[in-house]
Structure 1
Amino acid sequence: MALKWKSKILLAKLETTYGVDSGPTSVNGILATEVALTPMEGNDLSRDLETPYLGAQGSVPVDVHAKLTFNVELAGSGTPGTAPAWGPLLRACAVAETIVVGTSVTYNPVSDDHESLAIHFMIAGTRFVMIGARGNCTIDYTSSGLPYLKFEFLGLFTQPSEQTRPEVSLAAFIKPLAVTQANTPTFTIDGVALVMRSLMLNLGNAVEPRFLIGSEGILITDKAESVETKVEAVPLGTLNPFALAAAQTDVAIELVHGLVAGNIASLSVSKAQMQRPQGLENAQNIVEWPLRLVPIPTVGNDQWSLTLT
């Protein structure tokens, strides 16, 4: 019997002990788009045998791990102070979650004690299990589109198996708001309100499979966040990115998306160094600046924050 491509189920749950399957169930369902699985990443070692005849040789697979990529709509939980269903995914990207009950949920980067996920992915009745999964995320706001969290996870490989499909609840995922003038009331760089086409914050995690005797795992060994945005050009007296880049000036970035409590997301970068502008772009015969900025820590682990209220 053919397996239907759209018959996907994605479950994810934070692990208590690294690399031990936390057993995600139907309540841990993830509502995702553009799901893509590479179940057996790794290397194939040739045996390099010397034989008395010509021909191909077999190989030995090593450092086998899995890669899973997908997007999740960026929307709150619907209730201030209640974490969204995608919270565990962001936490497994070297991010801390701070909850103020009834008020807010805030995410910010952390350098140590990174959490990990067990991810169960099913297509038809075939279940793929990734354990010890950690990853990277890009927060993407594009005008006239939906805001997304774009994830890429690496996890330790386990053999897939045939399993009974669970009934999955996705009720915790509320409908997102499109990125429009009405729904995105605030976007500023250095305190200057600008007309924005897009903004992407890449968490820049260095996600490394590490396979040694006595220890195998997926580690986040470094991070280097970056921001890319496209905005309508303005007179240099209003904002001069060329002078800011030449002076290595740090500026603040603020973006607020959403209007109703429980579904307002505020992305804040308190200090970002303006990089050299790469050129000018023509969009509908309007000049646009593609700008690059690098979030800089002040006291550490404060390069950016995403606050849901």
Structure 2
Amino acid sequence: MADRYTRRSAILARPEAVYGTAEVAFVATDGILLAAPPSFVIEPDNVPRNLVTPWMGNSEELPATRRAKLNFKVELVGSGVAGTPPAWGKLLRGCGFAETIVAANRVEYAFINSGFEGLTFRFFRDGVRYLTRGARGTVKLDLSAYAIPTADFEFWGFDVQALSSALPAIDLTAFQTPQVVTTENSGDILLGPTLTAGAIAGGTSLASKGIMWDMGGKLAHRKLLGGEKIAITDRAVSGQMTVDLLDTEEITWRTDINAVSLTSLGFNHGNAAGKRIGVFAPRVQRTNPQAVDDDGAIMISTDLRALPGVTGAPELTIIAR
């Protein structure tokens, strides 16, 4: 009996022209370059018969619907060409972001509140191909200091199908080599900056251990006859950062937090055109400041809550330029 190996896995993804209608014209460039082993789990919703008989024992369960949960990481880096969507941009579109392309300059991904796109995934695992449609998801961004920046995706899709299939040919050349988050490649977290024409600038620079953001998308599998879907029902964007503060700065920091003083936050990464990434949140509440030990030095860990604008402007924007 031949062994099957988990490393012989591949993921292909395509945005759906019509939500819930599976895409069929997959090509090699639909492949996703994975930064860690993926997880693919099928959850069935079976219905028990619960038959009444004069003897003990089970009744069978009948299959109803099922969903796939797909988790994977990709490296966070631009496309290599300013104004060209990065290879992972289509994944953000499936997480409740709209894509705006400014030719030869940048691509922006900002939250929307309706009209969410869906993705069709093909997941290959050594001899078996799974297809799931109507997939939507959520994502976490990890821009920790002295590490490769990553986006950690979780997608739900329905109507999971399996068939025998060899691993496909995949072309991963659209995924660029990332840059490690360092002072030379990134710089500091900016407190109170502005976002203008894709550029995050101004404000106060904070020495830090980097920043992490969790989009906090709430997913639901809505089982409707003639309208089955994965719904994004809400989101709660949160984050975390650990910063280096003087004693006087810590006192001001805590005073502002106690007064629920909101601020903007920005972070730039990358020093080469086409590979730069920016993350900007215009209204952020800082909470739960805690002193932590960092090789004997005191730093302040702070939780973050990104808030939408007072008229509903997106609470977070990701820029590739």
What TM-score, normalized by structure 2, do the two folds share? 0.90
Q: Distance in 2 between matches of 1:302 and 1:158?
A: 33
CA contact (8 A) 2:110 2:318 kept: yes
Deviations 1:4-44 (A, max 9, x none): 22111211010001111112221211101234334421434
Runs of 5+ in structure 2 lacking a partner? 193-202
- Corresponding position: 1:210 with 2:211: no
CA contact (8 A) 1:39 1:128 kept: no
CA contact (8 A) 2:281 2:316 kept: yes
**Which residue matches 1:271?**
283
Q: Distance in 1 between matches of 2:216 and 2:160?
A: 27
Deviates more, 1:258-267 or 1:52-61: 52-61
**Which residue matches 1:20?**
21
**Which residue matches 1:288?**
299
CA contact (8 A) 2:12 2:122 kept: yes
**Aligned AA for 1:246?**
N
CA contact (8 A) 1:136 1:204 kept: yes
How many aligned positions are there? 308
* Partner SS state of residue 234, structure 2: strand
CA contact (8 A) 1:82 1:101 kept: yes
- Corresponding position: 1:107 with 2:109: yes
Q: 1:129 aligns with which of 119, 128, 131?
A: 131
Q: Distance in 1 between matches of 2:156 and 2:176?
A: 27
Q: Distance in 2 between matches of 1:221 and 1:120?
A: 25
CA contact (8 A) 2:120 2:132 kept: yes
Deviations 1:150-207 (A, max 9, x none): 1000001322101243211100001000111111123122433222113111111111
**Aligned AA for 1:274?**
R
Q: Distance in 1 between matches of 2:249 and 2:133?
A: 53
Question: CA 1:170–1:239 in structure 2 vs 1: closer, same or farther (change >3 Å)?
Answer: farther
**Which residue matches 1:9?**
10
State the shift of 1:238 in Å.
6.5
CA contact (8 A) 1:121 1:128 kept: yes
* Partner SS state of residue 256, structure 2: helix
Q: Distance in 2 between matches of 1:45 and 1:235?
A: 61
Deviations 1:277-304 (A, max 9, x none): 2x32112111122211211122324211
**Which residue matches 2:164?**
162
CA contact (8 A) 1:136 1:151 kept: yes
Q: 2:210 aligns with which of 194, 198, 207?
A: 198
Deviations 1:75-105 (A, max 9, x none): 0011111111111001100001111110111
Question: CA 1:62–1:287 in structure 2 vs 1: closer, same or farther (change >3 Å)?
Answer: farther
Question: CA 1:229–1:128 in structure 2 vs 1: closer, same or farther (change >3 Å)?
Answer: same
* Partner SS state of residue 273, structure 1: strand
* Partner SS state of residue 241, structure 1: helix
State the shift of 1:133 in Å.
0.4
CA contact (8 A) 1:40 1:65 kept: yes
Deviates more, 1:159-168 or 1:262-271: 159-168
Q: Distance in 1 between matches of 2:106 and 2:169?
A: 30
Q: Distance in 2 between matches of 1:118 and 1:307?
A: 24
- Corresponding position: 1:253 with 2:255: no
**Which residue matches 2:319?**
307
Q: Distance in 1 between matches of 2:37 and 2:221?
A: 21
**Which residue matches 1:96?**
98
CA contact (8 A) 1:189 1:252 kept: yes
Question: CA 1:49–1:241 in structure 2 vs 1: closer, same or farther (change >3 Å)?
Answer: farther
- Corresponding position: 1:79 with 2:90: no
Q: Distance in 2 between matches of 1:238 and 1:287?
A: 11
State the shift of 1:50 in Å.
2.9
Q: 2:185 aligns with which of 183, 189, 199?
A: 183
State the shift of 1:250 in Å.
0.6
Runs of 5+ in structure 1 lacking a partner? none
**Which residue matches 2:197?**
none
What TM-score, normalized by structure 1, do the two folds share? 0.94
Q: Distance in 2 between matches of 1:123 and 1:12?
A: 15
* Partner SS state of residue 6, structure 1: coil
Deviates more, 1:298-307 or 1:132-141: 298-307
Q: Distance in 2 between matches of 1:88 and 1:193?
A: 32
State the shift of 1:239 in Å.
6.7
Matches within 5 A, 1:45-84: 45-84=47-86
State the shift of 1:144 in Å.
1.6
Question: CA 1:55–1:248 in structure 2 vs 1: closer, same or farther (change >3 Å)?
Answer: same
Q: 1:40 aligns with which of 39, 42, 52?
A: 42
